[in-house]
Structure 1
Amino acid sequence: MLSTEQSHTRARTTPHQRTPEEPSFLDLGVPAPVVDALATGGVLTPFPIQAATLPDTLAGKDVLGRGRTGSGKTLAFVLPVVSRLAAAPTRRRAGRPRGLILVPTRELATQVHAALRPLADATGLTTTTVFGGVGLGKQISTLAGGIDILVACPGRLEELIRMGHCDLGGVEITVLDEADHMADLGFLPSVKRLLDRTPADGQRLLFSATLDNGVDVLVRRYLTAPVTHSVDPAVAPVATMVHHVFLVAADTKADVVRQLASGRDRSLLFTRTKSGARRLARSLTAAGVPAVDLHGNLAQNARERNLAAFSSGSVKVLVATDIAARGVHVDDVTLVVHVDPPAEHKAYLHRSGRTARAGADGVVVTIATPDQQSDVRVLARKAGIAPKTVTVRPGAAEILALTGPPAEYVTPPVAAPAANGGGRAGGRSGGNAGGRNGGIAGGRNGANAGGRSGAGRNLGGRSTNGRGAVDPGVGGRDTGGRSAGAVGGRGGGRGAVDRSAGGRTAGGRTAGDRTTSGRSAGGRGGSVYTSSSDGTSGYSGGAAAHSERSGGRRRRPRRVA
């Protein structure tokens, strides 16, 4: 299935058959196997930016495409990359991709790859993604096996090149997507270094909403006689988007936001900070409105899981920061709420572009407290919009008019209590297998067998028979202590059973896999929304259940004589 702005919205919101005057993908030169794959994904008719650019991109020309988000530009560059590489005589080689697509964020890399993969599969091409926030091992091994098309974020790609695992000398087509956002994030120096590594005679496609902040330098330096196609103004509001400003008192803002998020359709809420996104998502969930957060503090697996929950519709509300949401291309987002107004008008338009995609309708609401009203007026003027401004309180008719009847209340999930007040599998605070303050097998202050004071020092504790009472393999400090042991000893706290089952590993920082417990699934400050077959759902990881603090704090081990 194609995961693009075009895949489902075309069929649901703008269902029209191609007129004789409109070119088909076949008419534009797209190979039949690729056209069939498009049809399987529900894409039958080219969008304007695709119809405009494909004749030139398929002919091998350098192209500068200017179009707002939601205009269909992903397929505008994916189609020529797949079509031209499938027809080229060259073949893949280890560590030398033939096509390169550079994107600014992990989320965008994932979604571009989702649009690319079914088309590549239809033509026998191989693809992969590389970005930070995940281990290098799988990316290295995939590159070593040979890749036709690589979707990459600049930082991780440069790292792999420095390590000798990737060589851009065989790249035939290079795409730079959202170049303006690359500039906003300070990636242009890295992008230039990467482009310098690609052959100068290769084809290059650059897509950007604007040409400021150094993007024009990229065009002049790296594109040869580029053909420019612009289907929308560089940065402009969308005709199918309705804008509102809700003036609220500071003490009623939270309730107004909750009511806006409680509708039955998908909503995307923007906050200024990562911590604000995390707090708001949890607050909404606690109020019976399931929500997930998306921001830079989340581990990659948590970002993917939360975005998947939102994309699938199992969770209707996504709370995000600007940078994280730039890669969110989800159909049927009917409402965007600027919980914290953005600092400048381009950010407003980029945020708002998550709704009213591909011809669909959308509503944008900016929440403004009294001290923000003048800034919001300036913002609207620069963005070229005329929002409907009204003062609202919780329960106002204006809110209901936008959201419709609220969705059914969802009982907030209840986190499972930690055993004896501590972590599940060891760690300083206790747990089933060796918490310092309690636990079934080896807590420092209370245990069934071998705690420092619980079952007593006489059953494998620190004193009886010296440091290795009974037998060092049963409960002495040598084996039941901090490093390993069956049960007990002082290390029932940090290392009961062994260090990989109850100590720093299982209940502490890594838990076998950094995504299982400890700092884990939610990243340093985030959380993951999970659901199971029995209908239960809730957050895990981060600062919630199974956190590093409740599962085991790092502590330097003492030397044992």
Structure 2
Amino acid sequence: MKHPHDSGSAHVSPVRPGTTTPAPLPAVTFAGLGLPAEMLRTLSELGVREPFPIQAATLPDALRGRDILGRGRTGSGKTLAFGLPLLARTAGRRAEPKQPLALILVPTRELAQQVTHALAPYAEALRLRIATVVGGTSIGRQVAALRQGAEVVVATPGRLHDLIERNACRLGRVRITVLDEADQMCDLGFLPQVAAVLDQVHPDGQRMLFSATLDRDVDELVHRYLHDPMVHSVDPAAGTVATMEHHLLVVHGPDRYAVITEIAARDGRVLLFLDTKHAVDQLTRHLRASGVHAGALHSGKSQPQRTRTLAQFKNSQITALVATDVAARGLHVDDLDLVVNVDPPTDAKDYVHRAGRTARAGESGSVVTLVPAGRRRETSRMMAGAGIEPTVTTVRSGEAELSRITGARTPPGIPLDGGPAVPRPKNTNAPFRGLGTGKGTTRGAGGTSRKAGEARKLAEARRAARVRRNG
């Protein structure tokens, strides 16, 4: 199956999937790419002057209608790399009700909303309508938007599948399809739904697949659905960059939450990753009780809650965002210079995507991973798999070295939501009596272990029960 080529354009030899194109010439500019005048004017108004490497590499081929296989670190500018050619090649056409002309498929609601927000000014300049189709929001409104006609649909696989099942969306006229963060869609189990979508779009259409990593199930999608693709990889697969510092902080177990709290109380925003929704909620409550403006983000929150929390984090009403991996992709916050893995990821790819929330668009940033001494070797192996050789430091709460690396400082201690303040340690070597630490735990000799403390509480409860029985 072949794609039409512009007769006047220079031929570019295709590259086998898995290989890398040479670095693009620095002379590539938006103006020299033949983008519509309205789009160039909007780029200028938004202060977008020069294309990022992934954009300079892919835009010429994408504008010619070639299938694209693009690999670039998160934050490298992939959204405009696929969005500008998609909009430019759709301009001037009008969608029939329920029949979009272009489709962008993404793994998460947050990424869908971010892509829509990033492309909206250019779509408006070209008089193109965008419909965002995600779960957690009114399906009725999405049905109505599709019925009115939308040239471009930005969707998550699950909600798009629901709309297709309701006959509210038909994909036969879609001639440009983008898969963004394809590896995560596969990791989340969306491969069958993604394949079903690609089976329904116009068979002679253009397909662009962008991801930070290209492996496993992504290869299946490439071989089944991309035709003679141009392959562009402008960043190492692991996504390491010179402007990102990586630290492995070895933390004494009972001191863990004190360390976390002091980091969260820093002057500036911080994104903290944990493994479970329960742990996220628990830490968020603790931080707010310590006077830290913290907010929780995970899949158990409603979409309006998630949207509001992200907005508050971006405008600094919330300075500590506590999240599961739902925030590891699709979250772009300007000037976010610190990401903390409270729970270290077990997979190197997850580390790459969490880390990619900082040092975006050429800015600098730090990634800090907290680990007890017993997990140091295991975590170091995971980071080596991501191509990372971190600086390893043993830290304690209240120490200057922790502040130097993370900006940690003493939390205000005034609860934000009422209730009693969280007890603080009397000195830097005292136990932190917060989450994960029993009141009887001490670091030094003569302290009571957690197990002993629990036994004491149980004995006291039994004595109280005997008193009640005996009147």
TM tier, smaller: 0.7 to 0.9
Q: Indicate the RMSD between aligned Cα atoms, in angstroms.
A: 1.7
Alpha-carbon contact 2:67-2:227 (below 8 Å) kept: yes
Which residue of structure 1 aligns with residue 364 of structure 2?
361
Which residue of 39, 46, 49 corresponds with 2:54? Answer: 49
The alignment partner of 1:147 has SS state of coil
The alignment partner of 1:247 has SS state of strand
Q: CA deviation at 1:214?
A: 1.1
Q: CA deviation at 1:65?
A: 0.6
Q: 1:67 aligned to 2:72?
A: yes
Structure 2 CA distance for partners of 1:37 and 1:409, relative to 1, 3 Å: farther
Q: List aligned pairs for 1:302-451, cutoff 5 A.
A: 302-404=305-407, 406=409, 409=412, 411-414=414-417
Q: 1:36 aligned to 2:68?
A: no
Structure 2 CA distance for partners of 1:297 and 1:23, relative to 1, 3 Å: same
Alpha-carbon contact 1:28-1:51 (below 8 Å) kept: no
Alpha-carbon contact 1:294-1:325 (below 8 Å) kept: no
The alignment partner of 2:337 has SS state of strand
Alpha-carbon contact 1:38-1:44 (below 8 Å) kept: yes
Q: List aligned pairs for 1:64-463, cutoff 5 A.
A: 64-87=69-92, 90-404=93-407, 406=409, 409=412, 411-414=414-417
Report 1 or 2 for greater relative contact order, CA contacts < 8 Å, sequence distance ≥ 6: 2
The alignment partner of 2:283 has SS state of helix
Distance in 2 (alpha carbons) for counterparts of 1:233 and 1:248: 30
Distance in 2 (alpha carbons) for counterparts of 1:414 and 1:316: 16
**Residue 30 of structure 1 aligns to which amino acid in structure 2?**
L
**Residue 343 of structure 1 aligns to which amino acid in structure 2?**
T
Which residue of structure 1 aligns with residue 22 of structure 2?
none
Output one character per residue of 1:447-481: Cα deviation in whole Å (capped at 9) or x when no partner: xxxxxxxxxxxxxxxxxxxxxxxxxxxxxxxxxxx
Q: CA deviation at 1:404?
A: 3.7
Which residue of 54, 58, 63 corresponds with 2:63? Answer: 58
**Residue 395 of structure 1 aligns to which amino acid in structure 2?**
G
The alignment partner of 1:216 has SS state of helix
Alpha-carbon contact 1:105-1:324 (below 8 Å) kept: no
Structure 2 CA distance for partners of 1:350 and 1:414, relative to 1, 3 Å: closer
Identity within the alignment, %: 51
The alignment partner of 1:181 has SS state of helix
Distance in 2 (alpha carbons) for counterparts of 1:305 and 1:335: 21
The alignment partner of 2:209 has SS state of strand
Structure 2 CA distance for partners of 1:59 and 1:407, relative to 1, 3 Å: farther
Q: List aligned pairs for 1:467-506, cutoff 5 A.
A: none
State TM-score, norm by structure 2. Answer: 0.81
Q: CA deviation at 1:377?
A: 1.9
The alignment partner of 1:129 has SS state of strand
**Residue 74 of structure 1 aligns to which amino acid in structure 2?**
T
Q: CA deviation at 1:409?
A: 3.6
Q: CA deviation at 1:235?
A: 2.2
Q: CA deviation at 1:49?
A: 0.5
Alpha-carbon contact 1:184-1:213 (below 8 Å) kept: no
Which residue of structure 2 aligns with residue 442 of structure 1?
none
Distance in 1 (alpha carbons) for counterparts of 2:107 and 2:389: 31
Distance in 2 (alpha carbons) for counterparts of 1:77 and 1:410: 47
**Residue 358 of structure 1 aligns to which amino acid in structure 2?**
A
Alpha-carbon contact 2:295-2:320 (below 8 Å) kept: yes
Q: CA deviation at 1:405?
A: 7.2
Q: CA deviation at 1:192?
A: 0.2
Q: CA deviation at 1:414?
A: 3.5
Q: CA deviation at 1:31?
A: 1.4
Distance in 2 (alpha carbons) for counterparts of 1:122 and 1:282: 44
State TM-score, norm by structure 1. Answer: 0.68
The alignment partner of 1:390 has SS state of strand
Which residue of structure 2 aligns with residue 447 of structure 1?
none
Alpha-carbon contact 2:29-2:51 (below 8 Å) kept: yes
Output one character per residue of 1:270-322: Cα deviation in whole Å (capped at 9) or x when no partner: 00111111111221111111011111100000000001111122212111111
Structure 2 CA distance for partners of 1:139 and 1:415, relative to 1, 3 Å: farther
Q: CA deviation at 1:369?
A: 1.2
Alpha-carbon contact 2:240-2:387 (below 8 Å) kept: yes
Structure 2 CA distance for partners of 1:405 and 1:274, relative to 1, 3 Å: closer
Distance in 2 (alpha carbons) for counterparts of 1:47 and 1:151: 23
Which residue of structure 2 aligns with residue 473 of structure 1?
none
Q: CA deviation at 1:407?
A: 8.9
Q: CA deviation at 1:370?
A: 2.6
Alpha-carbon contact 2:288-2:417 (below 8 Å) kept: no
Alpha-carbon contact 2:251-2:396 (below 8 Å) kept: yes
The alignment partner of 1:71 has SS state of coil
Which residue of structure 2 aligns with residue 544 of structure 1?
none
Distance in 1 (alpha carbons) for counterparts of 2:74 and 2:143: 32
Alpha-carbon contact 2:290-2:411 (below 8 Å) kept: no
Q: CA deviation at 1:324?
A: 3.6
Distance in 1 (alpha carbons) for counterparts of 2:69 and 2:383: 28
Q: CA deviation at 1:78?
A: 0.6
Q: Which runs of 5+ in 1 are unaligned?
A: 1-19, 417-561
Output one character per residue of 1:507-535: Cα deviation in whole Å (capped at 9) or x when no partner: xxxxxxxxxxxxxxxxxxxxxxxxxxxxx
Distance in 2 (alpha carbons) for counterparts of 1:47 and 1:232: 12
Structure 2 CA distance for partners of 1:405 and 1:179, relative to 1, 3 Å: closer
Stretch of structure 1 that moved more, 22-31 or 191-200: 22-31
Distance in 2 (alpha carbons) for counterparts of 1:213 and 1:252: 40
Output one character per residue of 1:407-459: Cα deviation in whole Å (capped at 9) or x when no partner: 9848433369xxxxxxxxxxxxxxxxxxxxxxxxxxxxxxxxxxxxxxxxxxx
The alignment partner of 1:61 has SS state of coil
Distance in 2 (alpha carbons) for counterparts of 1:60 and 1:344: 35
